[in-house]
Structure 1
Amino acid sequence: MIDYNVVYVAIWIMAIFSVFIRSDWSRYLFYIQATFMALFLAFRFETGYDWPVYKSHYLHVAAGETFQLNFEIGYEYLVRIFTFLGFEFHQFVALLSVLEILLIAVSVRFFFRKHSIWVMALLYSIPDFYLIPSFSLVRQALAASLFFYGLHYYARARLFTALGIFVLAVSVHYSVVGAIAFLVLAMRVRLSKYVFVVLFAVAVTLYLFSIDVARFFANFVVLYFYPKYIFYLERDVYNASFVYRLVYAAVSTLVFALIYTSWDKRLVDSSGFSKWDSTVYRLAMFGVLIPLVVFGFPTFSTRYQYFFCIFMVGVSLSVLVLFNARDRLAIMLAVCVISYVSFYRFLVNPLSIVYVPYQSQFLYDEKNSTGQKRTDDLLHQLEILWLK
């Protein structure tokens, strides 16, 4: 656990230090912070829960054998290229990890230049936005970073380049199709901030009273069109106490209020993407609404919220311009402390055994790694939960 805490402190120290230096120097500090996050991710060894499948697939391809699962064509070709070049699996994942974080950093810097270093700090602090997708969801995390990168070209009206990146992202993980659908919705169906107030009120009410509308429709679709996915419906369930739901609803309300305020006062500096009008705010709103509407499918909701996390966090932080420098620093110090609550809760959760302790390529090899044992332990815990 100490490794994650050291990184937490280091990333927030960089963010806090940026307040005391010139703005042109803070740009370099931002990329140092992003590189630090990328290397921490890249040097992990057999950490996360999906790595055994990815590794087995990689070794099968390297040996010229057929694997039991078929991945997206883009990912398949990536594996073929790297195996042909003679890369080991951990080297392959390390390079993808560095690319993933740097693409996210470039996108964050483009959309939220003033608060980019704070955005990256918060992305690390919220497990669903860094630890879980980056450490475990190799394909989707890479696809999401490509989606973000494509968005920054799309916002600059470089449509052909953006389209090419979106196609590449879809070829790595098909879930990007859904993210693109939300993007089209945000740009073509120009819902006002007042409409989002109504949508949020309905969503948070349904969430608090555990009225799972999404599961009702999903059951209908799966039963009649994709019966093989019934297994996933039975296991991907939401189980939280009313107190937890109250806390999550309160946090969601706060974030919604921040986004609404930013939208109302046009606080995001959109000089680099002025033609987007209110799109950036709508994308941020999606980040709040998705987990409330689709709460019955935690895997689905968190993964799709991830596609809009930089907007949700970045737009929320844009309200900092309403405060003076001293107050901004005090607010972010408070955010650092409060964010650590969910961060620590994740680290001590028994289901996080595949993340803690952090295993480094410098300290572990396949003979003394505990990665496989911890993955097996996680699967055993999940089997017990599913039987309840």
Structure 2
Amino acid sequence: MFFYIFLAVVLVPFYILEVWGAPKARVTAGFLVLIAFIYFVFVAGFRDDTGYDWYVYKKIYEGVESSDGLLAAIQFGNENGAETGFSVLLYLLGLCGVSFWGVQALVCLFNFYAFVRLNSLLGMGLVSGFFVYYCWLFLVLQMAVMRMSVALSLLILGMIALLRGRYLVFALLVAVSTTVHLFSLAIGVVVLCAKLRFSRTFVASVLSVVVILYGLGLDVFGIGLEQTLGYMPAFIASKVEIYLRTSQLYVRGAGEFLYKLLMLGIFFYVFVRADWRNDLERYLVNLGFIYIVFLFLFWKYPVFHDRIKYFVLVPYFHLLLMVVMRQKIHERGLVGMGFMLISLAVLVHEVRGPLFYPYTPYYNIAERWLGGQENDGEERTMKYYEDYNAQWLESGGE
């Protein structure tokens, strides 16, 4: 647990300097890029039997790599929950002789590249963006959902292309990301819809409605699904039925309420202070607006708004930092430091969770290369799968 908190604390001084307006230099920028590279590649990419996802993807990789041809590899991947594009990627890397640990490192290297490109587009200090990313998303995206992280990086590059007017490149990247993770198509639609020029009145009106519906406990989305279930194709209807059954088990909690309140509060802050004449800021406001709508309208379906969150949070928080940096020194200090403390609290809450033990103690592949003994990562991961499944069954899931 302390290892992951320490990694965040290392970034705090740099975050404070950037929020308080320290001058940037080429040498400083290069050093900060190096820091981010170390976190992505050496911490996440070279982790050894650490995290939630490694065991599943290792087994998929071994099956794909040993398949008799590309078609057999794709079939094996599909049977084990991997989309075609991801299976093709693993198969090609296997042909090149890349080990599974090499696959992990290459995936994180690609994610690092996409993250740096996004920071460059948004124009914020790299550590400010990375500190927030680390506290809120890093341990999930880089150490728990390999397939989703690849798809999100492709979507980030697609969003950059879209904002530069390269619509064909955007469409191509969304298409490719969809072959890696199917939900990318929905996120691609969100990215495209954020280009619409929503008026302030429209945004305020829609948010008022969805917040009221949430307050009343009305599941409008679920009601709509139930009404249209009979008109859906069988393979879609079966998944929708699972979502509907799962939603009946969902229980609101204080943590959920506080999170929604925080996201809404941040949106109100940037909504009032953002420069609506600036195309980039207006786009980021729209992106945040769509996420807030998902968050309140799909409140019974975390599987939907969580995946949107994985993509939206970094641009959303960058917008917050953009706005903060324009304020007077006292407001900049108050909001910037307050947000830093909230981010650290989110990280501490995550690493203290009852199901965090697959992450700790942290092991790195370098220890194995240097002749270290086998670690207990597989044992902890298998226990996590058993405990997670037991919780799911106790709650009435299937």
Asked whether the two chains share a fold, i.e. TM above 0.5, the reply is: yes
Q: Paired residue for 2:128, among 118, 122, 137?
A: 118
Q: Which of 185, 192, 196 lines up with 2:199 in the alignment?
A: 192
CA distance 1:108–1:349, shift in 2 (3 Å): same
Other-structure match for 1:72? 83
1:228-239 correspondence runs (5 A): 228-229=238-239, 230-235=241-246, 237-239=249-251
After TM superposition, give the deviation of residue 220 of structure 1 in Å: 4.8
2:214 to 186, 197, 207: 207
Deviation at 1:329, TM superposition (A): 4.2
Q: CA separation of 1:29/1:60 partners in 2, compared to 1, >3 Å: closer, same or farther?
A: same
Match status 1:35 vs 2:51: no
Letter in 2 for 1:5: I
C-alpha change, 1:70 and 1:342, in structure 2 (3 Å) is closer
Equivalent pair of 2:291/2:305 in contact (CA under 8 Å): no
Match of 2:160 in 1: 152
Contact kept in structure 2, 1:214 and 1:293, CA below 8 Å = yes
Answer yes or no: is the 8 Å Cα contact 2:284–2:316 preserved in 1: no
Q: CA deviation at 1:330?
A: 4.9
Distance 1:239 1:378 in 2: 22
- Cα distance in 2 for partners of 1:221, 1:354 equals 40
Stretches of structure 2 lacking an aligned partner (at least 5 in a row) = none
Question: What is the CA distance between 1:325 and its match in structure 2?
Answer: 4.5
**Residue type of the alignment partner of 1:34:** A
Deviations 1:298-337 (A, max 9, x none): 2221112222222211112222134234653454333222
Mapped partners of 1:59, 1:207: distance in 2: 45
Aligned to 2:25: 24
**Deviation of the 1:381 alpha carbon:** 2.6
Please, which moves more after superposition, 195-204 or 296-305?
Answer: 195-204
Match of 1:138 in 2: 146
- C-alpha displacement of 1:282: 0.4
Shift of 1:166: 2.6
In structure 1, C-alpha distance between the alignment counterparts of 2:343 and 2:66, rounded to whole Å: 45
Across the aligned residues of Structure 1 and Structure 2, the Cα RMSD in angstroms comes to 2.7
Count the aligned residue pairs.
376
Runs of 4 or more, structure 1, over 6 Å off, are: none
Q: What do residues 45-92 of structure 1 show as CA deviations (whole Å, max 9, x unaligned)? A: 222323222111110122125523263232122111110011111110
Q: CA deviation at 1:361?
A: 1.6
> C-alpha separation between the residues in 2 aligned to 1:30 and 1:325?
24
Cα distance change of structure 1 residues 24 and 238 upon mapping to structure 2, 3 Å threshold: farther
Report matched runs for 1:342-381 at 5 Å.
342-363=346-367, 368-381=374-387
In the TM superposition, what is the alpha-carbon distance from 1:20 to its structure 2 partner? Answer: 6.8
Name 1:181's counterpart in structure 2: 189
- Structure 1: tracts of 5 or more residues without a match: none
Counterpart residue number, 1:93: 104
Amino acid at match of 2:6: V
Matching residue of 1:328: 332
Residues 223, 320 of structure 1: CA spacing in aligned structure 2 closer, same or farther, 3 A cutoff? same
Q: Matches of 1:47 and 1:216 in 2, distance apart?
A: 40
Provide the rounded CA distance (Å) in 1 between the counterparts of 2:353 and 2:203.
34
Match of 1:288 among 274, 289, 292: 292
Partners of 1:332 and 1:161 in 2: CA distance:
36
TM-score, normalised relative to structure 2: 0.84
TM-score (norm 1): 0.86
Q: What CA distance in whole angstroms lies between the structure 2 residues aligned with 1:58 and 1:91?
A: 11
The answer to whether the Cα contact below 8 Å between 1:207 and 1:245 also exists between their aligned partners in 2 is: no
